[in-house]
Structures are given as structure tokens and as C-alpha cells.
Amino acid sequence: MNFSNLLSISPTVLISVPMLVCFFGLMIFVGFACRKHAKSVDSFVLGGRSVGPWLTAFAFGTSYFSAVIFVGYAGQFGWNFGLASTWIGLGNAFIGSLLAWTVLGRRTRVMTQHLGSKTMPDFFEKRYDSKNLKVVSSFIVFVFLIPYTASLYNGLSSLFNNVFEIPYWVIVVGMAVLTGVYVIFGGYMATAVNDFIQGIIMLVGIVAVIVAVLNQNGGFTEAVNSLAASEQAGPEYTSMFGPNPIFLLFVVLLTSLGTWGLPQMVGKFYSIKDEGAIKKGTIISTVFAIIVAGGCYFLGGFGKLYFKEMAAAGFTSAAGTKFDKVIPTMLQNLPAVIVALIIVLVLAASMSTLSSLVLTSSSTLTLDVVKPAMEKKKSVSEKKSVLIMRLFIVFFIAVSAVIAILKDTIWADSVFIAQMMGVSWGALAGAFLAPFMYGLYWKKTTKAAVVASFIFGVGLEVIQLLIGIGLFSVENIPVISFIFTNSLYSGVFAMVGGLIIVPIVSLLTKKTLPENIDRKFECYDHQVVTNKKDSLG
């Protein structure tokens, strides 16, 4: 053995490698251990609708917050808004988690079981009596989830390249293969258990890095004073609402309200066990979001303290700032054990979200498109359905990995791919939020209103995409140009517009109201017996 080579290895690598080996080993072990919970369609997709509050809450939170938030958004919005970016994390906690669980959790669980729906497109078919709605919504999921999935790899390159000096494609392939292994073998239950483990790593990692960064800058008070006195920041970067409150509000709304319409998020409510699990899950999910999301954006708020380091490395100039380099620059001089923990944190955040997205994509395509098409000739068994889903998991992971690698190499200058990733969240949330929520609460919601929401949400983001790639411009049209300032603005207008359009169109198109609507809502009227501690009624 060449000991001189061993001594030349950085302490961060020496600590990181054993931690990563243990992490990967644990993920794969969980996948194989959960094989018995992935034999039927219901268990593979929903965990048999018997998942407890801790697993569901952590699955919800880890699907919500990926490495894109920790490395990309925290760096970008922290750099632009200062400490006011913490409001984004708090909005994610109280609007995207607490309110989402309160408004959607119970009703989603009750009605989806009553209708027998396993996916969001399946819900649209059975709630509105329309196979066409299922096909169209499945197509929307397929088109927009793949670029969204590919964007998850973005946050990995900066940290891993700095520490290990290995090609980006190796990182992408490694993460894709390992995620695929445990999802393919263990289905939803393996994903939920691993999400719980990954969530613990994220909680510990966020707290550790915040403490380390603040200590590096003389403590909280000294760090705030230094940010306020900085030439690149100033007092407005330590103020309550930052230098651009309007833009901040749009970021809060899109990243918080958007979860209400994303199929991979709403799907977590399908599988939760019972009433008690919903109550506990609501609290757990909210606390998790406060720590993880609030912590990420709070950390990013101190980004401009590292302006000199960013400028010296060429990451900020008159041409612009490389926001994905902000957080890595903040971490580069921290103790090796903290950096190693962060590496595992970023990997855990990415894998947890990736697993949720590919499971959602594969189950949607299999159950809502492929299986119905095959059953026109002959019935498809449970075993065959699960096999098809596993094959599509491989397909979705492979496609997302290829797009991520090409985006970093051959398509590095591709405006289309970058814009496509940007509009994905807004298109999905804009199309689905309103028809799903109204479908749970309001009997008078019509099929025509759902179609209108699909057209408006997707249409708005397609226009945003075309503007982004330079096909045409709306700069000279005041109100329109404001809407299409960027994908954040148009995404918020897509969601809010859907909430307005659906009730208006429903009242004008009563003829498209499902005939057996009362039977669909009777699930909420079933009498149940409960303890006094749960209900005073």
C-alpha cells in the first residue's frame, strides 16, 4: 500500500466515503426488506393504505425538499432577499405543509379510498366520470414530471466535484441506480422507510451546518451585523421583508401553494393509515418543514457574507451570479465532518424526492394508460401490473439521468431544457390544484371546469416556455409582461387563476356535472365511533 497517497487524501473524503457506504448499504437493505410489502398493486403504490404518521409525514417532507432547495433555491433567494428568504421556508411549513394537511389530508384519504383511485389521474376519471380526463392528466404528468425529475440532480455536482473530483455523470448514474434498486424492490413502503431515514439525516445536517456557519462568522448577532454593514448587502438584507417584497411573495406562494396540486405530494395522503395518523402527521410534517426549509433559506440569507470568495472564484461578475455555487462556497472552510454530513444530506434529499417522483410517474403511466389499453384485449394480473410499474421506474430513472447528464454536457447552453425544468412545477400545480381541491369539497364542480383548468395551467406555462426560449416577447404589453416575468410569476398566476376559473366555469356548465355525484360524496357522511379525546361530538 502506498501510504503517501493515503496521506494525500483530504480528511473530508476519508470521512465521507465510509458514511456514504453505510448510507447506500442501509438504503438497499431497506429495499430488499420491504419486498413483502410490494407484491400487489395497492401495496406497491400505496403501502396498503396503512402507513403511519411518522413515515407519511417524513415522506411528504422529503419529497417536498430536495437538493435543489438546499443548494439552488437557498443560494439564489438567500442572495437576492437576505434573511427575509426565511419567509419562504416558513411559508413552505405553514402553507405547503400545515394547511395542505389540514385542507386536503383527511378528505383525500376518505374519497380516494371510497372511489378506489390510486393516482391523481385515476381520481379525475372516477370523480368526474371521464376517461378522457384520466388520459389527458396522465399525459401532463408524463410530460412535466420528467424534466422536473431531471432537475433534481442539479444540486449534486458542485458539492461532489469539490470534494471527490469525479465526473458529474458518475454521480448521476450512481444516485439513479441506487434509488432505482430500493424503489423497484420495495415499492412505496421502501420509499417511505428510506424517506424517514433520509429525513433524519436532513434534520441533523441542516442544524449542524447552520451552527457551524454562524460560529464561523462570530455567532448570530455578529453575522447579522456583518451582513447589514456589507457593501454588497446592507440593512435591507437584514430587514423583515428584504429588498424585493413583491417577488418574495410570489416565491412563497409558488413554492408553498404548489404542493397542493403536485401528484407526488398529494399521493402521500392516499396511503395514510387513520384519523390519528393524520393529526400526528400534520404536526410532524410542519415541524420538519420549519427546520429543513426554514433552516435552508435562513442559511442562504447569509450568502453575501461570502461575496469576496464568490468573486475570487469567478462565481459572481457583471455577467451574473452562479447561485448554485453560493452554498458550496459557504461550506468550503467548515470542518471535514460537517462537510461530509452535508454531502450525505444533499444525496439523501435528492434520492428521497427522486424516488417519490419516479414511483408517481410509473404508477400513473401503468395504471392510467398502459393497463387500461392492455385490458381491452385481456385482463392484466396484479403481478404483471407490478412488473410493468417496475419497468417504467427503470425507464423514468434512466430518462431523467440521461437528460441531467446531457444538460451538463452537450445541452449545457440549451435554453429549452433549462426553461422546461423551470415551468414544470407551475404547469403541474396550475393544472391540477383547483380541480383536485374543488373535487374534494364541492359537488357542483364539473368536467368542463377541470378541462378549463388543465388548458389554463398548462397553456400559461407553455407560453412562459416559448417566451423563455426567445420565440416571441411580451415586453411591450404591461400586464402580460408582468405575468410572464419568469416562471415563478406565471406559476402563481396559473394556480390562482385555476382557483377562480373552476367555480365560474362549473356554474356555467352544469350539464357536465356527473350524474351520480351524491354517491361519490356519501363517503363523508358515514357514521363512525370515536373516543371523547378525539372528538367532543
> For residue 2, is it within any domain?
no
> For residue 487, is it within any domain?
yes
Distance from C-alpha of 121 to C-alpha of 448, rounded to nearest angstrom: 16
Q: Are residues 375 and 519 in the same domain?
A: no
> For residue 4, is it within any domain?
no
> For residue 53, is it within any domain?
yes
User: DSSP letter at 522?
Assistant: G
SS3 state at 231: coil
Q: Are residues 388 and 417 in the same domain?
A: no
pLDDT of residue 2: 47
Q: Are residues 304 and 368 in the same domain?
A: yes
DSSP 219-230: SHHHHHHHHHH-
Q: Are residues 16 and 145 in the same domain?
A: yes
Distance from C-alpha of 259 to C-alpha of 13, rounded to nearest angstrom: 36
Q: Are residues 374 and 430 in the same domain?
A: no
Distance from C-alpha of 407 to C-alpha of 413, rounded to nearest angstrom: 8
In total, how many domains does the chain have?
2
Other Cβ atoms less than 10 A from the Cβ of 432: the count is 30
Closest CA to 58 of 181, 257, 164, 193: 193
Query: Which of 365, 389, 412 corresponds to the end of one domain?
Result: 412
Q: What backbone phi and psi angles, to 5 degrees, belong to 302? A: -95, 10
> For residue 3, is it within any domain?
no
Q: Are residues 69 and 173 in the same domain?
A: yes
Q: Are residues 348 and 459 in the same domain?
A: no
pLDDT of residue 165: 73
> For residue 478, is it within any domain?
yes
Distance from C-alpha of 94 to C-alpha of 318, rounded to nearest angstrom: 37
Distance from C-alpha of 518 to C-alpha of 525, rounded to nearest angstrom: 11
CA-CA-CA-CA torsion for 38, 39, 45, 51, nearest 10 degrees? -60
pLDDT of residue 410: 79
Domain containing residue 470 = 413-524
CB proximity list for 46: less than 8 A, separation 6 or greater: 118, 188, 267, 270, 271
Q: C-alpha cell of 176?
A: 439513479
Sign of the alpha-carbon torsion through 204, 210, 214, 219: negative
Domain CATH for 349: 1.20.1730.10
* b (16+ CB within 10 A) / e for 388-408: bbbebbeebbebbbebbbebb
> For residue 173, is it within any domain?
yes
Query: Which of 412, 433, 460 corresponds to the end of one domain?
Result: 412
Long-range contacts of residues 465-468, Cβ cutoff 8 Å, at least 24 apart: 465/416, 465/419, 465/420, 465/423, 468/415, 468/418, 468/419, 468/422, 468/423
Q: Are residues 263 and 345 in the same domain?
A: yes
Q: Are residues 261 and 246 in the same domain?
A: yes
Q: Are residues 60 and 170 in the same domain?
A: yes
> For residue 456, is it within any domain?
yes
Query: Which of 412, 427, 458 corresponds to the end of one domain?
Result: 412
Predicted model pTM: 0.91
70 to 66, 198, 292, 427: CA distances (angstroms): 7, 14, 9, 23
Other Cβ atoms less than 10 A from the Cβ of 529: the count is 5
SS3 state at 528: coil
Q: Are residues 404 and 434 in the same domain?
A: no
Distance from C-alpha of 277 to C-alpha of 295, rounded to nearest angstrom: 26
What pLDDT tens digit does each residue of the chain (537 aa) get?
A: 444 444 456 787 788 888 888 998 999 999 989 888 788 888 888 887 888 899 999 999 999 988 778 888 888 899 999 999 999 999 999 999 999 999 999 999 999 999 999 999 999 999 999 999 999 999 999 889 888 888 888 767 666 766 677 788 888 888 899 999 999 999 999 999 999 999 999 999 999 999 999 999 999 999 999 999 988 888 999 999 989 999 999 999 988 998 999 999 998 998 888 878 899 999 999 999 999 999 999 999 999 999 998 888 888 877 788 888 888 888 888 888 888 888 888 888 888 888 998 999 999 989 898 888 888 888 888 889 989 999 999 999 999 899 888 887 777 666 676 677 778 889 999 999 999 999 999 999 999 999 999 999 999 999 999 998 888 888 888 888 888 888 888 999 999 999 999 999 999 999 989 888 999 999 888 777 766 566 544
Q: Are residues 108 and 240 in the same domain?
A: yes
pLDDT of residue 34: 87
